Amino acid sequence: MPNDFTRYSCQLALPGFNEATQQKLQKAKVLIVGAGGLGCPSALYLTASGIGTIGIADYDVVSASNLHRQVLYNHAEVGLQKSVIACKKLQEQNPGIQLISIDEKITSKNVMEIIQDYDLIIDCTDNFETKYLLNDACVLSNKVMVYGAIYQYEGQVAVFNVQHDDGTHSPNFRDLFPNVNASQIPNCAEGGVMPTLAGIIGCLQANEVIKHFTGHGELLAGKIMMLDVNTLQSRIIKLKSVSKTIIADLPESIDIPVISVSDLKKAIDSDEYSLVDVRTFQEHTSFNIGGTLIPLNYLEKNISLLNFEKPVVLYCATGKRSEEAVKLIKSKFPGANVFSLNGGMKEWERAL
């Protein structure tokens, strides 16, 4: 990588920030998991600051309902793969760094392989299952994880699993949240989220990354920052200095029963399956393959509307929301014969 520091001249002018400091950023390898509301601003500023290698992992596509906070994308890109679009745009923003698109779901089977080439992991995900998985993988591989979360008007930032000089580590996600019933916590689609909050928290995550690699400032290790954008009040809660949690293995990823587009196409005229669309009303109106519309954020309270007399196939844009729907149904009715349409409507239209 050429040592042309012109674009970084303003940060090089900072007290204690010099070319050697910038080279630390250039050598850094960061993996951003989740290219949504948090991942977009975090990736933008880490790209601009000159982090040498940035991986972006996300297997979802751009959705119109998320454009208010996912600022890397535009309406013309709805339906396209987030990680691919993000890497393309960020590479144009800074040709001097390496962007790597990871267009696959992170599970207990591939997480260790995916994170192994990176120095630090940024958790920009929106579900607890993945947060726990990333946390445990980072602990087992001795990597730092920068955590972020947003809901309505409140956000959180913390830096987990920082190694101390004596070999101990700062608290990790499980020290803070030993056990969370994720089904009781609404997502952004159901509870809403202030778009500017996503930008603020994502930028704070990027700031912690820069502090970590340059050694400047005081990391949010052993503490968590909480911000309310309605009042602009923030507070930092101190945690224990050392993790007390023992993590020996990765949590098992739940295997979701799926059905392929080709198999469903063969059976759809025979009325063999009961179809349920878990997308939004707007998405359903634009294009659907029939069945009952029950958006994911309404499903938990409307499971009684499902007909389990025959196998149920849930579908969405890419299969991500329908997988969440299957997990939700299975948590309440373990014996339910339900499937997620693999690849969703994107794969269905591709097969036309």
What pLDDT was estimated at residue 142?
96
Q: In 94-215, which ranges are continuous DSSP H helix? A: 111-115, 128-141, 173-176, 188-191, 195-214
**Which residues, at least 6 apart from 113, have a Cβ–Cβ distance to it below 8 Å?**
none
What pLDDT was estimated at residue 148?
97
What pLDDT was estimated at residue 178?
87
What pLDDT was estimated at residue 1?
41
What pLDDT was estimated at residue 188?
63
Q: What is the Cα–Cα distance from 79 to 287, expressed in whole angstroms?
A: 13
What pLDDT was estimated at residue 255?
76
DSSP 302: G
CATH 3.20.20.140 assigned to 6-238: no
CATH assignment of 258-350, given 1.20.210.10, 3.30.70.100, 3.60.15.10, 3.40.250.10? 3.40.250.10
pLDDT in tens, 19-29: 999 999 999 99
User: Are 180 and 131 spatial neighbours (Cβ–Cβ below 8 Å)?
Assistant: no
What pLDDT was estimated at residue 129?
85
pLDDT in tens, 186-217: 556 556 788 999 999 999 999 999 999 999 99
Q: What is the Cα–Cα distance from 208 to 158, expressed in whole angstroms?
A: 8
DSSP 3-state assignment of 71? coil
DSSP 352: -
Q: What is the Cα–Cα distance from 312 to 275, expressed in whole angstroms?
A: 6
Task: Give the CA diameter of the chain.
Answer: 71
Give domain limits for the chain. Answer: 6-238, 258-350
Flag residues of the chain having pLDDT under 50. Answer: 1-2, 183-184
Whole-model pTM: value is: 0.81
Residue 29: is it exposed, middle or buried by C-beta count within 10 angstroms (0-12/13-18/19+)? middle
Q: What SS3 string covers 82-112? A: HHHHHHHHHHHHCCCCEEEEECCCCCCCCHH
Q: What is the Cα–Cα distance from 343 to 190, expressed in whole angstroms?
A: 23
Residue 42: is it exposed, middle or buried by C-beta count within 10 angstroms (0-12/13-18/19+)? buried
